[in-house]
């Protein structure tokens, strides 16, 4: 029974890791940029939502869509001024650019919201911790899980059923091919960042609703999405989601059966193991190198 | 490379030499004398910063070998420093070794850890390797905190005994200055030597295309691991110096943010350039000191709580903006700017 408890908690947190992982993969697929700043960007959107609720007295159900929309705008701005000038630069330049953005945003957040922990008002999400026999489920995470599933479905529909999604898949496949087909790839890059940050904002808001928001620690939660991405393969959104669940479950299992302290590094041990055994991940594409 | 007119290399030794002209020799000697007389004309507070700068330069040289010359991205540099700092401190504390013996051993231990962390580099590269070093960056401080907290002090600060020679204790900033600065100067020289030797050329070949390098007979296994080893040697040395300078270490001193700052300094200085390392470390550390003075100054125009908030937030913002500006406008860093200035100065008042 305790096993089911850990499993369900793992699945619930795994959905959030999956959301963050999907946010990174969407950008990587379209632009080949690995976004190290996803944690800070996500925290930024969540803090915006918090401010909308606390300072502007906007009801939560309205604040969330506004924050998500603002997240999309931030994504476009960051792409336009931070990453667009660096198109087709070497990998380290791109990674460092996202790390620089991460630092700038962290500084801004420390200035605006300070370094202390902020929490959403209590009872924001209706309901209380769900008890299924001996298994308890925090209701915030259940909401988050449902919303995450809706997000996954929407992202899947967008990529598979719409014309713009198709264009984005072409861009991900090859920039040259996309351009030769008349696709405006810089617009696709903006769109990828917008979409990614909207997904990231959802993750940030629901993490914040359960755990509270602190500029540095909340941002670091997103680092746990990296193992999820490596697990699923960097090129696969569905892989990232499955990876998120896997990391979430393994982390909670380690916390329950071994030691809560071990859980802190479990994702990174998984990361190392995957890198050594199967670097391209479960669903990734193995690239053949030529000189 | 550009030479002043009339300096002609007729042997390979001359082509590789660091000092080419009498002018350079004179300038370098005067510069070194001025550097080592610094404690006589600089205040203690400034010396404190300069010592930290020297430690940063030593550490950054290691990162330059790994990331700048060999092209292996590492976001776990601070964890290597942690290994050096902790192994030195613990050997001094529990085995009673002197600093002078414990530091080389700590460097070797760090080198071994570096090789272990570098092992994935044989199969993966680029961004995947960055992930592996990121994992090390989390696992090593975790081990320091949780494996034997009774020895390492866990999250608490571990006090460090000052090094001594024949009863003379290195406690004042002046004495530490001579220790740190000599190591910094020597490590700069050593790093420059690596760059112009067979090893440096092999590293650069691997950076530019590791498959091509392998086909030309440069063993990837050997040189990638050597780069990790050398990087960690430097980091271990810098970690031991940091422990002595700080007089107390805790895992918080070696966080992911520190590693990212080192990467940023490398970008600002110019990847793969030894002199760029010095410039980059100088620029970022000086900017950081300026921010700690300017932050409260700006803050005094607002109420006191805002002042504190501005002081904490300004550091990361300035760092991020500077790094992003260098990435966009001068990706080759300060080393390139310095090179352009030298060329300009040499030809002035003519355009070419």
Q: Which residues contact B245 (CB under 8 A, 6 or more apart)?
A: B51, B52, B55, B176, B180
Residue A182 within any structural domain of the chain: yes
Quick: pLDDT tens for B124-146: 877 888 888 999 999 999 999 88
Residue A217 within any structural domain of the chain: yes
Cβ count within 10 A of residue B93: 16
* Residue range of the domain that includes A110: 2-221
Predicted confidence at residue A289, as pLDDT, reads 65
Enter the pTM of the model. Answer: 0.90
**In angstroms, rounded to a whole number, what is the distance separating the alpha carbons of residues A206 and A189?**
26
Least confident piece of the model among B59-68, B259-268, B284-293: B284-293
Nearest residue, CB atoms, A100 vs list B309, B313, B327: B327
Residues B220 and B312 in one domain: no
pLDDT at B305 over 70: no
Residue B111 within any structural domain of the chain: yes
Residue at which a domain ends, from B193, B226, B254: B254
Overall number of domains in chain B: 2
pLDDT at B2 over 60: no
Residue A280 within any structural domain of the chain: no
Residues B191 and B327 in one domain: no
Residue B339 within any structural domain of the chain: yes
Mean pLDDT value of segment B188-208:
92
Residues B250 and B260 in one domain: no
Contact residues on chain B for A272, CB-CB shorter than 8 A: 120, 132, 135, 139
Q: Is the CB of B309 inside 8 Å of chain A's CB atoms? A: yes
Per-residue pLDDT band at B263 (split at 50, 70, 90): very high
Low pLDDT (below 50) residues in chain A = none
Residue B11 within any structural domain of the chain: no
Residues B86 and B213 in one domain: yes
Predicted confidence at residue B3, as pLDDT, reads 61
Residue at which a domain ends, from B225, B254, B283: B254
pLDDT at B109 over 70: yes
Residues B53 and B153 in one domain: yes
Residue A75 within any structural domain of the chain: yes
Residue at which a domain ends, from B233, B254, B275: B254
pLDDT at B227 over 50: yes
Residues B150 and B98 in one domain: yes
Instruction: Verify whether the Cβ–Cβ distance A104 to B321 is below 8 Å.
Output: yes
**In angstroms, rounded to a whole number, what is the distance separating the alpha carbons of residues B53 and A110?**
26
How many residues can be counted in chain B? 352
* Residue range of the domain that includes B345: 256-352
**In angstroms, rounded to a whole number, what is the distance separating the alpha carbons of residues B67 and B333?**
14
Question: CA of A37: which chain B residue's CA is closest?
Answer: B320
Q: Which residue has the higher pLDDT, B201 or A89?
A: B201
Residue A166 within any structural domain of the chain: yes
Instruction: Verify whether the Cβ–Cβ distance B316 to A97 is below 8 Å.
Output: no
Question: CA of A215: which chain B residue's CA is closest?
Answer: B313
Judge whether A186 and A84 are in contact, CB under 8 Å.
yes
Overall number of domains in chain A: 1
Residues B81 and B157 in one domain: yes
Element (H, E) at A4: helix A2-31
Residues B61 and B189 in one domain: yes
Per-residue pLDDT band at B120 (split at 50, 70, 90): confident
Mean pLDDT value of segment B208-235:
92
**In angstroms, rounded to a whole number, what is the distance separating the alpha carbons of residues A236 and B311?**
42
Contact residues on chain A for B323, CB-CB shorter than 8 A: 96, 99-100, 103
Per-residue pLDDT band at B77 (split at 50, 70, 90): very high
Predicted confidence at residue B55, as pLDDT, reads 94
Residues B151 and B272 in one domain: no
Residue A117 within any structural domain of the chain: yes
Quick: pLDDT tens for A194-239: 999 999 999 998 888 878 888 888 888 888 888 888 888 888 888 8
Predicted confidence at residue B1, as pLDDT, reads 46
**In angstroms, rounded to a whole number, what is the distance separating the alpha carbons of residues A79 and A191?**
9
Judge whether A53 and A124 are in contact, CB under 8 Å.
yes
Predicted confidence at residue B300, as pLDDT, reads 73
Predicted confidence at residue A45, as pLDDT, reads 92
Interface pTM (ipTM) of the complex?
0.88
Residue B31 within any structural domain of the chain: no
């Amino acid at each position: 029974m305790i096993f089911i408890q850990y499993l369900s908690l793992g699945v619930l947190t795994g959905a959030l890791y999956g959301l963050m992982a999907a946010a990174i993969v969407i950008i990587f697929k379209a632009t080949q940029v690995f976004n190290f700043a996803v944690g800070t960007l996500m925290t930024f959107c969540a803090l915006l939502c918090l401010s909308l609720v606390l300072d502007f007295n906007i009801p939560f159900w309205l604040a969330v869509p506004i924050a998500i929309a603002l997240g999309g705008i931030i994504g476009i701005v960051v792409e336009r001024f931070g990453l667009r000038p660096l198109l087709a630069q070497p990998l380290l330049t791109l990674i460092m650019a996202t790390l620089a953005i991460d630092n700038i945003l962290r500084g801004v957040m420390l200035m605006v919201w300070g370094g202390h922990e902020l929490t959403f008002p209590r009872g924001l999400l209706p309901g209380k911790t769900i008890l299924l026999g001996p298994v308890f489920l925090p209701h915030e995470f259940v909401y988050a899980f449902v919303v995450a599933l809706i997000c996954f479905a929407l992202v899947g529909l967008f990529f598979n059923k719409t014309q713009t999604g198709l264009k984005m898949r072409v861009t991900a496949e090859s920039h040259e091919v996309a351009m030769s087909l008349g696709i405006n790839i810089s617009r696709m890059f903006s769109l990828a960042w917008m979409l990614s940050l909207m997904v990231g904002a959802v993750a940030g808001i629901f993490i914040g609703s359960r755990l509270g928001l602190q500029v540095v620690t909340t941002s670091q939660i997103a680092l746990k999405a990296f193992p999820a991405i490596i697990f699923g393969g960097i090129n696969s959104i569905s892989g990232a989601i499955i990876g998120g669940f896997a990391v979430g479950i393994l982390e909670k299992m380690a916390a329950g059966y071994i030691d809560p302290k071990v859980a802190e590094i479990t994702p990174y041990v998984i990361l190392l193991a995957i890198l050594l055994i199967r670097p391209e991940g479960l669903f990734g594409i193995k690239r053949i190198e030529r000189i | 490379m550009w030479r002043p007119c009339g300096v002609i290399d007729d042997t390979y030794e001359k082509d590789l030499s660091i000092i080419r002209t009498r002018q350079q020799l004179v300038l370098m000697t005067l510069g070194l004398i001025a550097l080592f007389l610094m404690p006589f004309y600089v205040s203690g507070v400034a010396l404190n910063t300069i010592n930290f700068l020297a430690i940063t330069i030593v550490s950054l040289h290691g990162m330059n070998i790994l990331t700048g010359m060999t092209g292996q991205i590492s976001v776990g540099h601070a964890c290597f420093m942690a290994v050096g700092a902790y192994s030195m401190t613990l050997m001094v504390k529990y085995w009673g070794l002197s600093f002078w013996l414990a530091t080389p051993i700590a460097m070797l231990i760090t080198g071994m850890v570096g090789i272990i962390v570098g092992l994935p580099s044989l199969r993966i590269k680029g961004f995947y390797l960055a992930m592996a070093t990121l994992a090390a960056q989390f696992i090593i401080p975790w081990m320091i905190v949780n494996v034997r907290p009774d020895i390492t002090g866990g999250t608490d600060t571990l006090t460090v005994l000052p090094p001594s020679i024949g009863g003379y204790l290195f406690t004042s900033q002046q004495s530490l200055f001579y220790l740190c600065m000599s190591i910094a100067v020597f490590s700069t020289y050593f790093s420059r030597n690596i760059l112009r030797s067979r090893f440096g050329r092999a590293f650069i070949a691997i950076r530019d295309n590791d498959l091509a390098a392998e086909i030309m007979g440069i063993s990837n296994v050997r040189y990638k691991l050597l780069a990790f080893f050398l990087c960690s040697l430097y980091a271990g040395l810098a970690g031991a110096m940091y422990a002595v300078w700080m007089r107390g270490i805790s895992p918080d001193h070696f966080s992911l943010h520190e590693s990212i700052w080192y990467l940023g300094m490398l970008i600002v200085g110019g990847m793969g350039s030894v002199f760029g390392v010095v410039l980059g470390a100088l620029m970022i550390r000086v900017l950081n000191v300026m921010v700690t003075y300017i932050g409260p100054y700006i803050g005094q125009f607002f109420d006191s709580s805002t002042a504190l908030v501005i002081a904490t937030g300004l550091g990361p913002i300035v760092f991020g903006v500077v790094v992003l500006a260098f990435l966009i406008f001068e990706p080759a860093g300060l080393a390139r700017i310095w090179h352009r200035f030298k060329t300009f100065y040499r030809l002035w008042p003519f355009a070419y």
